[in-house]
Structure formats: C-alpha cells, structure tokens
Amino acid sequence: MFQVQLVCYTENPMSDKTNDKDEDRAEEKAALTLSGTVEKIIPPITPNEPEKAQISVEGAEHLYKEIRVDNTLQDESGNEVVLKKGAKVDVTIEADPDATEPKK
C-alpha cells in the first residue's frame, strides 16, 4: 500500500534548517488519513509531462472525492515506481499548528 500525503505548510518546506523545534512541530501536526483507491491511470497529454493517477478518496464528498497526482513515486530504496490501477492507498492530510484552529 502506498501513502499519498497532502501537507499544508505555514513555513518554507524546502528550508534546510533542522533543529529540535522543527522535530517537535512535526509531532504536533494535526492529521487525517483516509483510504483511497487508484481508479485510473491517465496518460500524459504531451510526452514531457508525467502520467497521472486518479485516486478516489473514501469519506470525501461525492463531487470532490477524486484527486489526480503525478504517478511518480519512490520506494524505500529510492527506485522510481508507479501506482497500478486498483491499488489501495492512504491519503494523509497534515497541517502545522499555525494552520489550524480549535473546532467551534
């Protein structure tokens, strides 16, 4: 099973600063994980674009349950892999504490 993560950053995610404060913040992120299924693989429109994987997210509203992402992933060894039609995936949404507020 692959995991697709959608992350909301309030800072520059490409920053090379790493310290204990950054690690603590990562643990404090609010998160929601939903199951999904790869519905279809969409070929690129032009040869220089990547193919897309269309994922149906369980628990999302009917009109918004499909997302499309580049079908280019890396396995644990760093090898490039792609999702297959019908694959079960997890879609994780994470947000920094600065991007959230208490529910009313």
Strands 80-81 and 2-8: unpaired
Q: Percent of the chain beyond pLDDT 90?
A: 68
Instruction: Return the number of other C-beta atoms located less than 10 Å from residue 89's C-beta.
Output: 20
Domain boundaries, the chain: 2-99
- Cα separation, 54 vs 71, whole angstroms: 9
pLDDT tens per residue, range 40-67: 999 999 999 999 999 999 999 999 999 9
DSSP assignment, residue 56? E
- pTM score, whole prediction: 0.71
